[in-house]
């Protein structure tokens, strides 16, 4: 069972009472998950697990030690406290030490539904059997994952702060492949409320994509106009939350660094319709009401009308630079358009020649100075000619700067954002729209289906 | 020529040695720590699973200890120790799997969790079209530990911090270096396995990974370049800190990062490649290690990691590489990260060829996979990254055999008129069937008329797995062999991390497509 707020507070206070360090923070992470995989039209691995771990960070004469355990017995907790203190005593002074937070006010953001309790094995098995049966009508091989996760996070500081938050996530991903291996389709969605996850729609979409991707045509590599479905946009732009650090930019080692030790803050780096926001209270993608440092998180404009408006200042870096720590960003990156959203069908209809991209795979950085990434299309790539989808295309490898992809003049159209998680890690929801990009660089063909 | 890591290890005798009493044993007996009778817990789980109708059951009772020390420039940023203990029970009920796990390690909880695992299997069994069958395995009752002379968890913390500080100082001594981030990551897995086959296996595994990144910045141009350490993670103790030239590599990294700021670019096109083993291991991992996983070939990973271009019909006849190319899998590789006595279903570690004389000859298998291709026994490739994770097929150490002759990397370069020399792993990406890949490197040099020339930057190569390995026409000898590897090979859903090593010599490849990634023109 997930740890309750009352239990978490009591556990944190108990651990805090075990140390006489000058300053301390206790963090509790409690999680329950249940999942079932299926592949080749059969059930494969699955299971259920629960865990609660506690971490104690102490500072003694500004020297820091951190120890973690999942053994919550009195003896083990005492041993953890002693370990943290032992590490602190023999560590060098933590030059970036700041006193832990005093009492903060956090805004509840919702998003907890006790998802694992709703995912009974019998119901889940029946739902997966129905997905496999749906694929059977078209002689498809179905593979996928059904997963429910509940997490509770709590922390207490010696200076009087207490934080507690719970979140749920239910995910279904499905891949349909033709028996001959010449077509493949993928679709995945998640929600914090299992009742709002349309498993039949997810399976049906994956099957339709597989049917439509059969017998792909080999095209020449080169620059194409592309229409990226929301999944493909999420796959590419997940990196944004990792690269918005002000310190890296001011140290001159970031895509947001400018010559002369400056940053690109205030610069119109992107198309003027592009807004990038972090909003933990967004009703479609609620996220933690606190940053990784437990600073209360509020809605944050990162890019407004194409202008880079915010970079993330940690507590330490903010103090060094005489600024306030950034209220965010949290995980749920949101991209919206200042103009009216354009529907996917309209993007296709307005395309003389281009490619529709379902998702990307194995996207990795090549050059962090320009946020140039490489990766491949996968599970659905189609040639558009004369405003219509003409046929499936063989997959491509790309090498593309994300900064250039969103730059002024590079975007043709922006759709309405939808809740989607990037497909490699599936770890956190974003709200991403389909995008029509004027030039996207594909560097070689891939034989993979 | 730089001395290889293997030379360092052999010259210092690091392959031998064992600990007297590991500290975790003392921890388990510490005052007030609850005594854990693993045999009793295993017995309770297996009995409960049998009573609930399971035809097969196993339990893994595992304790994990990690230590991470992070520094930057002249300060320690974080020292963290973590500890995780728990168990997972896997059952087979009417041909369907079930799994459940808990951190509460008592006989009562073990029995409850076993029944929960059977409940999951029972729910799946009514819809399971293919009943799982397992290849037989002999009962084993034993203990095993990997080679470790100096327990990293018993070593004074100050020694470890000072090691990193010296690395940082050495790199910062290079004019033009602005930042250094270094990390020492230590892992200890204490694993106990028991099954209805009667096996009872204890294993103790230690892994050590020092790493660093050196950054040089040209603020006037708004440019920066980095160079990562070339040392790899290994299954070894803290003796690794003195068995490898870390300080020399830190200084070299500083020089390389500064030189990269002024390095020239290259025109995209076809070039001969000479790849140092510090680079090639990752290409082997992605293009050979993953393509020879049988579960992928059968579609089990279609929803995430992907399938494989090596379909079952290609076994024994597909020309994977040129005739000098031989790949082997080895769970016994000295200091290998995937080196174990037994896998997570009690199958002993083995060595076998995957590619022989260029021909694809075998798969990686588990007890479930082996019968599906008519094999009687498993190669022992089942693994879970945690007590809470279900075990599934994972890669063993997969390595490329060196030439029997004493071929040096200079010998390989000597036969290249217009080519590129690449060292260290950097950017990497491969498609979901393991055909099309792209790799970058930490350092890159032009080769002109058989000699190493100027440093290059912004270089990657792209190829197609069988084209690439069939273009291999030169291998270094054993003096060039290096054991690379990764702590974090991701696969499965929910994603699990596997530590795995890849040994290889330097190698030469003819006419491979090379790209200039700084070019704005489509390649």
Contacts of A43 (CB under 8 A, 6+ apart): A36, A37, A125, A128, B96, B97, B124, B127, B128
Same-domain pairing of B238 and B353: no
Where a domain ends, among A197, A212, A227?
Answer: A212
Band of residue B220 on the pLDDT scale cut at 50, 70, 90 = confident
Task: Name the residue among A376, A373, A434, A377 with its Cα closest to residue A402.
Answer: A373
Residue A349: predicted pLDDT = 98
Q: Max Cα separation, chain B?
A: 73
- Find the CB nearest A143 among B79, B299, B430: B299
Q: How far from chain centre, in Å, is Cα B509?
A: 24
Same-domain pairing of A344 and A375: yes
Same-domain pairing of A23 and A79: yes
Q: What is the DSSP letter of A194?
A: G
Same-domain pairing of A198 and A221: no
Same-domain pairing of A68 and A89: yes
**Which residue is it, tokens 């097969």?**
B56
Residue B222: predicted pLDDT = 86
* Burial (CB count within 10 angstroms: exposed 0-12, middle 13-18, buried 19+), residue B214: buried
Same-domain pairing of A172 and A231: no
Distance CA A246, CA A243 (A): 9
Contact A348, A227 (CB under 8 A): yes
What are the beta bridge partners of residue A176? A142, A185
Q: How far from chain centre, in Å, is Cα A164?
A: 21
Same-domain pairing of A449 and A362: yes
Same-domain pairing of B194 and B297: no
Same-domain pairing of A79 and A177: yes
Same-domain pairing of B148 and B281: no
- Find the CB nearest B522 among A51, A253, A443: A443
Contact A206, A185 (CB under 8 A): yes
Q: Which domain range does residue A385 map to?
A: 217-449
Task: Name the residue among B65, B58, B81, B80 with its Cα closest to residue B28.
Answer: B65
Same-domain pairing of A38 and A178: yes
Interface of A with B in 171-190 (CB under 8 A): 173-175, 177, 181, 184, 186
* Residues of chain B contacting A53 with CB distance shorter than 8 Å: 82, 84
Instruction: Inspect the interface and report whether the beta carbons of B493 and A145 lie closer than 8 Å.
Output: yes
In a domain, B217, yes or no: no
pLDDT at B520 over 70: no
In a domain, B167, yes or no: no
Residue B34: predicted pLDDT = 52
Domains identified in chain A, total number: 2
Residue A332: predicted pLDDT = 81
Which is more confidently placed, B31 or A318?
Answer: A318
Same-domain pairing of B349 and B491: yes
Same-domain pairing of B235 and B296: no
In a domain, B173, yes or no: no
Residue B6: predicted pLDDT = 34
In a domain, B301, yes or no: yes
Domains identified in chain B, total number: 2
Dihedral through CA A252, CA A254, CA A256, CA A260, nearest 10? Answer: 10
Same-domain pairing of B201 and B303: no
Q: Please give the interface size between A and B, counted as residue pairs whose CB atoms are below 8 Å apart.
A: 283
Same-domain pairing of A299 and A312: yes
Copy the structure tokens of residue B153.
């968890």
Same-domain pairing of B192 and B318: no
* Residues of chain B contacting A44 with CB distance shorter than 8 Å: 97, 300, 392
Contact B429, A363 (CB under 8 A): yes
Where a domain ends, among A212, A230, A246?
Answer: A212
- Rg (alpha carbons) of chain B, rounded to whole number: 24
Copy the structure tokens of residue A17.
């009472």
Instruction: Inspect the interface and report whether the beta carbons of B436 and A445 lie closer than 8 Å.
Output: yes
b/e map B147-157, b = 16+ CB within 10 Å: bbbbbbbebeb
In a domain, B220, yes or no: no
Same-domain pairing of A300 and A202: no
Residue A337: predicted pLDDT = 96
A169: domain CATH number is: 3.30.2290.10
Residue B16: predicted pLDDT = 28
Band of residue B7 on the pLDDT scale cut at 50, 70, 90 = very low
Q: Determine what percent of chain B is predicted with pLDDT higher than 90.
A: 90
Where a domain ends, among A162, A194, A212?
Answer: A212
ipTM of the complex as predicted? 0.95
Can you give the pTM of this predicted structure? 0.95
B27: domain CATH number is: 3.30.2290
In a domain, B171, yes or no: no
- Find the CB nearest B219 among A51, A260, A375: A260
Element containing residue B429 per DSSP (H, E): strand B418-430
Q: Which domain range does residue B108 map to?
A: 7-155+184-210+226-244
Average of per-residue pLDDT across B360-378? 97
Same-domain pairing of B290 and B240: no
Which is more confidently placed, B36 or A32?
Answer: A32
Residue B9: predicted pLDDT = 33
Average of per-residue pLDDT across B374-402? 98
Same-domain pairing of A207 and A116: yes
Same-domain pairing of B141 and B240: yes
Band of residue B12 on the pLDDT scale cut at 50, 70, 90 = very low
Contact B299, A143 (CB under 8 A): yes
CB atoms within 10 A of CB B15: 13
Same-domain pairing of A246 and A168: no
Distance CA B193, CA B191 (A): 7
* Entry field: residues in chain A: 449
What are the beta bridge partners of residue A348? none
Same-domain pairing of B121 and B30: yes
- Find the CB nearest A446 among B127, B304, B431: B431
In a domain, B254, yes or no: no
Measured in Å, how far apart are chain B's first and last C-alpha atoms? 34
Least confidently predicted of A49-58, A296-305, B133-142, B364-373? A296-305
Copy the structure tokens of residue B114.
């076993």
pLDDT at B4 over 70: no
**Which residue is it, tokens 């407004």?**
A304
Same-domain pairing of B412 and B445: yes
Beta strands in A158-266 (DSSP E): 162-178, 184-191, 222-228, 257-258, 262-263
3-state helix, strand, coil in chain B (%, to 5): 25, 40, 40
Per-residue pLDDT of chain A (449 residues; tens, 9 = 90+): 899 999 999 999 999 999 999 999 999 999 999 999 999 999 999 999 999 999 999 999 999 999 999 999 999 999 999 999 999 998 999 999 999 999 999 999 999 999 998 889 999 999 999 999 999 999 999 999 999 999 999 999 999 999 999 999 999 999 999 999 999 999 999 999 999 999 999 999 999 999 999 999 999 999 999 999 999 999 999 998 889 999 999 999 999 999 988 999 999 999 999 999 999 999 999 999 998 899 999 899 999 999 999 999 999 999 999 998 886 666 688 999 999 999 999 999 999 999 999 999 999 999 999 999 999 999 999 999 999 999 999 999 999 999 999 999 999 999 999 999 999 877 788 999 999 999 999 999 999 99
Contact A192, A286 (CB under 8 A): yes
What are the beta bridge partners of residue B491? B496
Q: What angle do CA A389, A393, A395 make, to 5 degrees?
A: 135
Same-domain pairing of B232 and B299: no
Residue B257: predicted pLDDT = 98
Mean pLDDT for chain B? 92
Average of per-residue pLDDT across B298-317? 97
Contacts of B472 (CB under 8 A, 6+ apart): B321, B322, B324, B325, B507, B508, B509
* Entry field: residues in chain B: 523
Average of per-residue pLDDT across B64-69? 96
* φ, ψ at B367 (rounded to 5°): -65, -30
Three-state helix/strand/coil letters over B194-250: EECCCCEEEEEEEEEEEEEEEEEEECCCCEEEEEECCCCCECCCCCHHHHCCHHHHH
Beta strands in A255-294 (DSSP E): 257-258, 262-263, 274-278
**Mutate which: B52, B70, B124, B490, vs A, most A CBs within 10 A:** B124
pLDDT at B25 over 70: no
């Amino acid at each position: 069972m997930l740890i309750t707020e009352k239990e978490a507070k009591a556990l944190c206070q108990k651990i805090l009472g075990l140390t006489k360090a000058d300053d301390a923070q206790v963090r509790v992470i409690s999680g329950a998950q249940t999942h079932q995989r299926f592949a080749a039209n059969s059930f494969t691995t699955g299971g259920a697990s629960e865990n609660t771990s506690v971490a104690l960070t102490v500072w003694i004469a500004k020297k820091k030690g951190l120890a973690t355990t999942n053994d919550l017995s009195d003896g083990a907790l005492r041993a953890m406290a002693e370990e943290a203190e032992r590490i602190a005593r023999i560590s060098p002074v933590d030059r970036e030490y700041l006193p832990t937070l005093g009492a903060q006010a956090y805004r509840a953001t919702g998003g907890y539904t006790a998802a694992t309790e709703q995912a009974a094995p019998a119901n889940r098995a029946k739902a997966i059997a129905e997905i496999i049966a749906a694929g059977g009508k078209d002689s498809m091989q179905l593979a996928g994952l059904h997963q429910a996760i509940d997490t509770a996070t709590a922390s207490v500081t010696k200076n009087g702060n207490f934080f507690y938050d719970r979140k749920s996530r239910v995910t279904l991903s499905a891949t349909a492949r033709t028996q001959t291996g010449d077509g493949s389709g993928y679709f995945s969605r998640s929600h914090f409320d299992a009742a709002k996850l349309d498993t039949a729609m997810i399976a049906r979409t994956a099957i339709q994509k597989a049917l439509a991707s059969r017998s792909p045509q080999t095209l020449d590599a080169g620059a194409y106009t592309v229409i990226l479905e929301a999944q493909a946009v999420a796959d590419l732009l997940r990196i944004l939350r990792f690269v918005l650090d002000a310190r890296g930019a001011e140290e001159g080692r970031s895509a947001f660094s400018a010559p002369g030790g400056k940053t690109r803050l205030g610069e119109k780096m992107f198309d003027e319709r592009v807004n990038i926001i972090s909003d933990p209270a967004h009703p479609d993608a609620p996220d933690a009401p606190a940053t990784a440092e437990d600073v209360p998180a509020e809605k944050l404009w990162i890019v407004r009308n194409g202008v880079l408006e915010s970079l993330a200042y940690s507590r330490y870096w903010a103090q060094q630079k005489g600024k306030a720590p950034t209220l965010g960003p949290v995980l749920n990156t949101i991209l919206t358009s200042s103009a009216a959203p354009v529907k996917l069908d309209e993007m296709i209809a307005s395309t003389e020649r281009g490619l529709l991209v379902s998702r990307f795979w194995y996207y990795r950085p090549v050059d962090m100075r320009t946020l140039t990434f490489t990766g491949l299309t996968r599970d659905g790539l189609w040639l558009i000619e004369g405003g219509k989808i003409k046929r499936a295309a063989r997959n491509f490898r790309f090498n593309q700067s994300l900064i250039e992809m969103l730059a002024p003049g590079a975007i043709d159209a922006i759709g309405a954002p939808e809740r989607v998680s990037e497909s490699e890690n599936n770890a956190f929801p974003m709200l991403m729209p389909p995008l029509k990009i004027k030039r996207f660089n594909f560097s070689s063909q891939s034989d993979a289906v | 020529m730089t001395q290889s890591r293997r030379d360092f290890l052999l010259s210092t005798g690091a392959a031998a040695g064992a600990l007297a009493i590991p500290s975790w044993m003392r921890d388990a007996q510490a005052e007030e720590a609850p005594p854990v009778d693993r045999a009793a817990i295993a017995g309770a789980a297996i009995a409960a699973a049998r009573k609930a109708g399971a035809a097969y059951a196993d339990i893994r009772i595992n304790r994990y200890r990690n230590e991470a020390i992070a520094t930057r420039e002249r300060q320690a940023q974080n020292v963290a120790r973590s500890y995780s203990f728990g168990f997972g029970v896997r059952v087979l009920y009417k041909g369907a799997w079930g799994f459940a796990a808990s951190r509460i390690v008592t006989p009562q909880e073990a029995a409850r969790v076993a029944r929960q695992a059977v409940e999951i299997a029972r729910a799946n069994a009514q819809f399971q079209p293919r009943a799982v069958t397992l290849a037989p395995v002999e009962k084993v009752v034993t203990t095993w530990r990997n080679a470790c002379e100096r327990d990293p968890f018993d070593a004074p913390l100050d020694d470890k911090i000072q090691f990193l500080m010296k690395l940082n100082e050495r790199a910062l001594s290079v004019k033009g270096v602005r930042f250094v981030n270094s990390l020492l990551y230590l892992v200890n897995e204490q694993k106990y396995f028991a099954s209805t086959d009667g096996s009872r296996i204890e294993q103790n595994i230690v892994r050590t990974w020092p790493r660093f990144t050196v950054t040089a910045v040209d603020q006037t141009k708004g440019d920066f370049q980095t160079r990562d350490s070339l040392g790899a993670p290994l299954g070894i103790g803290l003796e690794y800190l003195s068995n490898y030239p870390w300080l020399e590599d830190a200084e070299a990294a500083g020089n390389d990062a500064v030189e990269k700021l002024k390095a020239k670019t290259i025109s995209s096109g076809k070039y001969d490649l000479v790849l140092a083993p510090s680079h090639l291991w990752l290409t082997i991992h992605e293009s050979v290690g993953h393509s020879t996983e049988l579960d992928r070939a059968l579609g089990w990973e279609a929803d995430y990691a992907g399938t494989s271009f090596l379909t079952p019909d290609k076994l024994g006849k597909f020309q994977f590489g040129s005739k000098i190319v031989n790949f082997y899998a080895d769970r016994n590789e000295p200091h290998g990260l995937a080196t174990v006595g037994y896998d997570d279903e009690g199958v002993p570690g083995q060595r076998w060829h995957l590619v022989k004389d260029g021909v694809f000859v075998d798969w990686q298998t588990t007890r479930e996979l082996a019968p599906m291709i008519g094999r009687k026994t498993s190669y022992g490739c089942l693994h879970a990254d945690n007590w809470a994770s279900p075990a599934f097929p994972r890669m063993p150490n997969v390595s490329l055999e060196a030439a029997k002759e004493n071929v040096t990397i200079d010998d390989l370069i000597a036969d290249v008129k217009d080519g590129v020399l690449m060292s260290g792993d950097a950017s990497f990406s491969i498609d979901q069937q393991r055909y099309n890949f792209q790799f970058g490197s930490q350092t890159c040099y032009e080769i002109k008329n058989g000699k190493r020339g100027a440093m290059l930057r912004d270089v990657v190569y792209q190829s197609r797995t069988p084209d690439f390995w069939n273009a291999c026409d030169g291998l270094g000898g054993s003096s060039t062999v290096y054991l690379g590897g990764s702590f974090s090979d991701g696969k499965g859903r929910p994603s699990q991390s596997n530590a795995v090593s890849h040994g290889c010599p330097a190698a030469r490849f003819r006419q491979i497509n090379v790209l200039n990634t700084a070019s704005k023109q489509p390649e």
